[in-house]
């Protein structure tokens, strides 16, 4: 690439490809000494004419007449131009002190290098130890169950934790057998409710019992319908019973005693007791209790029955009340036995799918050589066709059996008796259409397709090709045609009835201890500033603040807020990062930032969880709150939900958590702070 610039009577030529600089001094000027100053210290001496020099080269020319003081040429700036543009040189000095500024275009972008090899995946970290379950507090009296509220929106999914090491495989669960249901609404025999094979349509029933301290009492007894079998296979009999108790720390256990009885209910023998299982606790719903007994294979009479007596043992010194639940649609008590469950009916077969359109035919293969025509045998009279029978319903298709070995060909039967001579008929040939007004027995050869037909019973019946003799050798196979496009998917048949759910496997071994949660304080909400939990001093690695039943006594209006502050720092400030999401009646209304403030709520409840509370670096938080709100978005009272998640970035451990409300009087709220010690 070569560019030329004229500076007064001096012409400077820049040749980028050869790395040369050519200076031409026109005859009108006489320059005794021309100096080019750059990183390579190029010197030029020339009176007139043209000199071409390379970097580092100096040429002594002939001495000329004494002229003006020596002119200098200095290389000034060098600028990279855009790719594809021309190089240029400008003089930012004078005619005697030349300063050359070069603009050299950038080269085209090179091809992208190949991608580097992916690094190895790091090793999976070990699983953290499981925390020990805290001691159970006493349960308060159960309140009247309220109506089920609308389902809350799904929370934001948290980041996936590191996968722990695989645990030891548990013992195989029991297989599904015949179910018996505790039908409390049916009296099977005097003094016994029914243990039946079919559930009832009755509503949920509850049996309440007060069990004296340090005693075992029978709370209900059931008897089965008469057996329809004579053998009880050995295996697990698992009872799934629903109970509630007064408080979480009540030590009340349940077990079932089985007895064999005759058809009148007279006890023949005591079979045995299941294992004792502690009744669990849930403040809202009955809890399922599973207890097992393993029976050996036993013979019984087909008219015998089984008695199931349900006992509760109170291990506390004071009386305890328990409730037994069965029937209804949610808490139906039942037992799964080792008896074989009856097989359900086969579901109807789904309709045949629509056949796909045939693909295009492949090219025709080469035709084999024509075989020699065989001698045509005499045609016997065609017997009359029998009446077609009524087609039966198609049964379900069985599995295909293994194909048997082909049998030997049997001996040829004797020649049949020559039939009576038929009525003389004509033989017609046509290229396209059958003969007009044919008679019974008339033959017709279609020269277009090479097939012969007999006119019988008012229709033309194909009798085969008159051109066909013994089969010639098979021709070479033609080239296979391209596969046609697949036909559309057939309509899916209706789904069969789902089988009953299998019994849950046995509970695996408990995880290792990871620490005890401690209740750090409880506060009953009042108006104004609620309270502050202080003095934490980083002694807890995790903190959970819970609240429930927050109710605004005034009319629900906008601009009523609840504030939560960590270490006295209010949300939405620079110490909080993250996002807040707001939902009204399940629809996303908008997003915000930081821990934020709660809007106006009635009957609100929620929790705030803080991780890394003992760290001086960033600490994670997740807050979820639900309640009724009269929002400016809709101006109607409706269910609302807020989710706040992010990090608290203050460089100090968690020392305090406080909360405050404004603009209304709030009551009936209870706040609890829990901590997991370091």
Which residues are registered as beta bridge partners of 309? 221, 257
- Residue 392 is predicted with a pLDDT of 63
Q: Provide the pLDDT for residue 41.
A: 39
Pull the structure tokens for residue 255. 């077990």
The pLDDT assigned to 607 comes to: 83
- Beta strands 252-261 and 334-336 are unpaired
- Residue 231 burial by CB count (10 A; 0-12/13-18/19+): exposed, middle or buried? exposed
Nearest residue to 476 via CA among 358, 360, 361, 363: 363
pLDDT tens for each residue of 321-356: 999 999 999 999 999 998 876 565 666 776 776 676
Between CA 42 and CA 135 the distance in angstroms is 92
Of the listed ranges 97-106, 212-221, 242-251, 464-473, the one predicted with least confidence: 464-473
For 482-522, the pLDDT digits (tens) are 777 777 776 666 766 666 666 666 665 554 445 688 888 88
pLDDT number for residue 126: 78
For residues 30 and 244, the model is more confident at 244
pLDDT digits (tens, 9 = 90+) for 269-281: 999 999 999 999 9
What pLDDT is recorded for position 299? Answer: 93
Task: Tell which residue, 377, 382, 387, has the closest CA to residue 441.
Answer: 382
End-to-end CA distance of the chain: 74
Give me the mean pLDDT over the 476-484 stretch.
73
Distance CA 461, CA 159 (A): 77
The predicted model gives 472-480 an average pLDDT of 70
Whether the pLDDT of residue 641 is over 50: the answer is yes
Closest CA to 365 of 480, 478, 473: 478
Given this model, what pLDDT does residue 300 score?
93
Asked whether the beta carbons of 639 and 149 are under 8 A apart, the reply is: yes
The 3-class SS string of 625-641 reads: EEEEEECCCCCCEEEEE
What is the per-residue pLDDT for 514? 53
Burial of residue 606 (CB within 10 Å: 0-12, 13-18, 19+) is buried
* pLDDT tens, residue by residue, 271-327: 999 999 999 999 889 999 999 999 999 999 999 999 999 999 999 999 999 999 999
Quick: pLDDT tens for 184-208. Answer: 999 999 999 999 999 999 999 999 9
Strongest mean pLDDT among 44-48, 564-568, 630-634 = 564-568
d(CA 215, CA 228): 37
Largest Cα–Cα separation, the chain:
148
pTM above 0.75, yes or no: no
Mean of per-residue pLDDT scores for the chain = 74
Rounded (10°) CA dihedral 223, 225, 226, 232: -80
Q: What number of residues does the chain have? A: 678
CA separation (Å) from 382 to 213, 424, 461, 474, 553?
Answer: 98, 15, 11, 32, 102
Mean pLDDT of 452-479: 69
Least confident of 140-154, 253-267, 637-651: 140-154
The pLDDT of residue 539: 86
Which of 363-372, 406-415, 647-656 is most confident?
647-656
Tokens of 78: 């060098």
Alpha-carbon gap, residue 9 to 227, rounded angstroms:
126
What is the C-alpha separation between 89 and 1, in angstroms, rounded?
Answer: 13
Q: What does the pLDDT look like over 223-242, one tens digit per residue?
A: 999 998 999 999 999 999 99
Distance CA 261, CA 227 (A): 11
- Judged against a pLDDT cut of 50, whether residue 405 lies above it is answered with yes
More confident residue, 517 or 150: 517
pLDDT tier at 621 (50, 70, 90 boundaries)? confident
Q: Tell me the mean pLDDT in the region 592-603.
A: 56
Q: Is the pLDDT of residue 376 over 70?
A: no
* Token pair recorded at residue 608: 């705030």
Chain centroid to CA 675: 34
The CA distances from residue 148 to 62, 284, 438, in Å, are 111, 11, 84
| Residue bearing the bigger pLDDT, 162 or 307 | 307
CA–CA distance, 6 with 23 (Å, rounded to integer): 10
Q: What is the pLDDT of residues 83-139, one digit of tens each?
A: 878 888 888 888 778 888 888 888 777 777 777 777 777 777 777 777 777 777 777
């Amino acid at each position: 690439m070569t560019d030329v610039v004229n500076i007064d009577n001096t012409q400077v030529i820049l040749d980028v490809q050869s790395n040369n600089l050519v200076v031409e001094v026109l005859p009108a000027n006489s320059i005794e000494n021309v100096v080019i100053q750059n990183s390579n210290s190029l010197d030029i001496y020339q009176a007139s004419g043209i000199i071409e020099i390379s970097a580092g080269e100096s040429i002594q020319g002939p001495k000329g007449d004494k002229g003006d003081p020596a002119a200098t040429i200095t290389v000034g700036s060098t600028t990279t131009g855009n790719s594809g543009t021309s190089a240029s040189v400008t003089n930012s000095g004078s005619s005697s002190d030349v300063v050359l500024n070069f603009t050299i275009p950038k080269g085209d972008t090179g091809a992208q290098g190949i991608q580097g090899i992916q690094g190895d995946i790091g090793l999976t970290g070990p699983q953290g130890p499981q925390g020990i379950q805290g001691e159970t507090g006493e349960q308060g009296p159960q309140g009247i169950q309220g109506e089920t509220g609308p389902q809350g929106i799904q929370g934001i999914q948290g980041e996936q934790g590191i996968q722990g090491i695989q645990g030891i495989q548990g013992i195989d669960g029991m297989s599904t057998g015949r179910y018996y249901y505790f039908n409390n609404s049916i009296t099977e025999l005097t003094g016994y409710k029914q243990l039946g094979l079919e559930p009832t349509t009755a509503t949920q029933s509850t049996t309440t019992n007060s069990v004296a301290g340090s005693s075992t009492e029978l709370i209900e007894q059931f008897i089965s319908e008469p057996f329809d079998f004579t053998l009880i296979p050995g295996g697990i009999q698992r009872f799934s019973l629903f109970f509630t108790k007064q408080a979480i720390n009540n030590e009340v256990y349940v077990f079932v005693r089985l007895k064999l009885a005759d058809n009148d209910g007279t006890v023949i023998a005591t079979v045995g007791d299941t294992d004792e299982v502690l009744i669990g606790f849930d403040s809202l719903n009955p809890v399922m209790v599973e207890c097992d007994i393993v029976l050996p294979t036993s013979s019984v009479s087909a008219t015998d029955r089984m008695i199931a007596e349900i006992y509760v043992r109170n291990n506390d010194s004071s009386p305890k009340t328990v409730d037994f639940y069965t029937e209804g649609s949610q808490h139906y008590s039942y037992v799964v036995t080792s008896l074989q469950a009856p097989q359900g009916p086969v579901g109807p077969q789904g309709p045949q799918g629509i056949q796909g359109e045939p693909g295009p035919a492949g090219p025709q293969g080469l035709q084999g050589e024509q075989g020699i025509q065989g001698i045509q045998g005499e045609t016997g009279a065609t017997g009359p066709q029998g009446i077609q029978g009524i087609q039966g319903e198609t049964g379900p298709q069985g599995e295909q059996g293994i194909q048997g070995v082909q049998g030997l060909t049997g001996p040829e039967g004797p020649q049949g008796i020559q039939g009576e001579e038929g009525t003389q008929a004509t033989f017609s040939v046509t290229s396209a259409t059958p003969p007009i007004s044919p008679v019974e027995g008339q033959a017709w050869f279609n020269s277009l397709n090479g097939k012969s037909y007999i006119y019988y019973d008012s229709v033309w019946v194909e009798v085969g090709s008159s051109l066909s003799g013994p089969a010639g050798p098979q021709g070479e196979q033609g080239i296979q045609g391209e596969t046609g496009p697949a036909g559309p998917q057939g309509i899916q048949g209706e789904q069969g009835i789902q089988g009953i759910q299998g019994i849950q496997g046995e509970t695996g071994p408990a995880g290792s201890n990871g620490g005890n949660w401690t209740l750090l304080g409880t506060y009953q909400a009042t108006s104004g500033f609620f309270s502050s939990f202080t003095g934490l001093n980083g002694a807890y690695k995790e903190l959970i603040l819970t609240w429930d039943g927050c109710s605004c006594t005034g009319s629900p209006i906008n601009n009523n807020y609840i504030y939560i502050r960590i270490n006295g720092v209010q949300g939405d400030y620079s110490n909080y990062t993250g996002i807040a999401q707001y939902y009204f009646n399940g629809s996303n209304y908008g997003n915000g930032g930081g821990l934020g403030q709660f809007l106006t709520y009635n009957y609100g409840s929620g929790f705030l969880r803080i991780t890394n509370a003992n760290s001086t670096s960033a600490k994670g938080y997740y807050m979820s709150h639900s309640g009724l709100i009269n929002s400016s978005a809709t101006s109607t009272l409706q269910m609302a939900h807020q989710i706040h998640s992010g990090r608290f970035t203050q460089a100090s451990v968690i020392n305090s958590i406080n909360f405050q409300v404004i603009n209304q009087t709030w009551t009936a709220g209870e706040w609890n702070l829990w901590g997991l010690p370091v």
